[in-house]
Amino acid sequence: MKTGLITSNAFLDHVTGVNHVEAPERITFILEQLKSSNLLDSLYEIQPATPSRLFPELVHESEYVDRVEKTCRNGDPYIDTLDNPICKNSYDVALLATSAVSVGVDWIFSGKIKNAMAILRPPGHHAEKDRAMGFCLFNNVSIAARYAQKEYKAEKILIIDFDVHHGNGTQHIFEEDSSVLYVSLHRYPFYPGTGSKDETGKGRGLGMTINYPLDAHTGDNNYLDIVNLSLSDKVLKFQPDFIILSSGFDAHEFDPLGGMDVTTQGYGALTEILVKFAEECCGGRILSVLEGGYNLKALAESVEIHLRKLSGIIN
């Protein structure tokens, strides 16, 4: 079976302003890289499903979804904080992103594809239940997790977040939930200020949050050692039914925001390990969802190697 690629030209319609790093070019650079490397022809291209507010309402408060829609339609320049620039189209684009992850879940669980990546924007892992943060409006990976549980009875879901920033929104959405194991490797202390080692969940979810706070300039070897030596036993013990990746590539050595030293090849090696986790635990079911990554060349090349490892197409 092929690897699915879920994207749409409509993701270019979320306009964030001149010189903003979370720009439409992030999508176009990735797709051009996949075309020029001939990898795109080997992937199964999938369009997002019909947008519906039922998707964000799986994890977000209805009043918040209303507020995002109203604020965008009004033409306001920002929502909640100055790091969330929006335009009139932003609600529709963010809603489409939630439908993109839902169709990825559908195709994977129906057995049409072995795994998939959703190349979308805006990203999502900072979005709280009732608040936009860090370029994020709706929490795409959390929506995918709840959708898989609701529609396909996936009892245990593993979310692995390797964006350079801690996914505060994802952590908070599931911190009292024993059915979702959230794992994050991120620079710390760093934006958004969360993600210490002591944050391990609450109530019934105690122990279901695992944070790996990393120093600036942490590179490939430390990332791979953590995943191989520390995380692997925890994943095998948990035995997830589905793995979702918050795939941020802003820990890349050339990223303008990250301050870390992960290489393109390092992302490939990391992905290879995560694919093995999925093969051992859940029949290879992985949905990768694009988060950060702001050096356009490094982002495009990292996504390419990530998809090569997901698909098993090396050349």
| Catalytic site positions | 126
Strands, E, within 50-94: which ranges?
78-79, 81-85
Instruction: Please state, in angstroms and as integers, the Cα–Cα distance from residue 245 to each residue in 67, 192, 285, following that order.
Output: 28, 19, 11
Contact (Cβ atoms closer than 8 angstroms) between residue 242 and residue 279: no
Q: Count other C-beta atoms under 10 Å from residue 224's C-beta.
A: 16
Instruction: With beta carbons less than 8 A apart as the criterion, state whether 142 and 170 touch.
Output: yes
SS (H, E, C) 161-200: ECCCCCCHHHHHHHCCCCCEEEEEEEECCCCCCCCCCCCC
**Tally of CB atoms within 10 A around 3:** 22
Distance CA 252, CA 295 (A): 8
CA within 13 Å, CB half, 293: 31
* Centroid of chain to Cα 111: 22
Give the DSSP H/E element, type plus range, for residue 213. strand 209-214
Give the separation between CA 87 and CA 313, rounded to whole angstroms: 38
**What span, in angstroms and rounded, lies between the C-alpha atoms of 248 and 314?**
21
